[in-house]
C-alpha cells in the first residue's frame, strides 16, 4: 500500500467514526433544538390566530393549539430525562460529547481544518438527504 492508500483508509475511518459518534450525540441534542423551534412555532401560531378566527372556529383552533402546547411540554420532559439523570448529566451524553471533540481534533491533525469542514459538510448533506428521502415516501 502506498501513502495515498493509507491516507484514504484513515480518512474513510475518520469519516465513519465522525458519523457514528455525531449521530449518537445528535440523538441527545436534536430534541433540545427541536424544542426551541417548536416553541418559536407555537408563539407564531398564537400570534397569528389571536383574534383572527370566527367564533365557530375558536373551540377547534384552541384545541389544536393546546394539543401542540402539550406535545411541546411532553417533549421537554423527555429531553431532560434523556440528557440528565436527576441533577447530573448523563455520562453517555458526556462521553459522546468528549469523543466527538477528540475525533475532530484528530481529523484536524491528520487532514487540517479544511478536512474537518469537508467531513462535517458530508455528514450534514447525508443527514439532510435522509430527511428529504424519508419525507418523499410519506
Model confidence, pTM: 0.79
Cβ pair 18, 99 in contact under 8 A: no
pLDDT in tens, 47-92: 888 777 667 777 788 889 999 999 999 999 888 888 888 889 889 9
β partners of residue 88: 85
In a 10 Å sphere around its CB, with 0-12 CB exposed, 13-18 middle and 19+ buried, how is residue 119 labelled? buried
Cβ pair 28, 81 in contact under 8 A: no
pLDDT in tens, 120-133: 999 999 999 998 98
State the pLDDT at residue 58. Answer: 77
Amino acid at each position: 500500500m502506498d501513502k495515498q492508500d493509507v491516507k484514504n483508509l484513515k480518512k474513510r475511518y475518520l469519516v465513519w467514526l465522525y458519523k457514528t459518534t455525531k449521530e449518537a450525540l445528535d440523538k441527545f441534542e436534536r430534541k433540545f433544538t427541536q424544542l426551541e423551534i417548536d416553541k418559536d412555532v407555537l408563539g407564531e401560531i398564537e400570534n397569528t390566530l389571536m383574534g383572527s378566527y370566527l367564533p365557530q372556529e375558536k373551540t377547534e383552533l384552541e384545541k389544536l393549539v393546546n394539543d401542540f402546547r402539550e406535545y411541546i411540554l411532553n417533549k421537554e420532559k423527555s429531553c431532560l430525562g434523556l440528557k440528565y439523570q436527576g441533577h447530573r448529566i448523563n455520562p453517555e451524553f458526556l462521553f459522546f460529547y468528549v469523543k466527538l471533540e477528540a475525533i475532530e481534533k484528530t481529523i484536524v491533525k491528520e487532514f487540517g481544518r479544511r478536512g474537518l469542514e469537508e467531513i462535517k459538510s458530508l455528514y450534514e448533506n447525508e443527514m439532510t438527504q435522509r430527511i428529504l428521502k424519508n419525507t418523499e415516501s410519506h
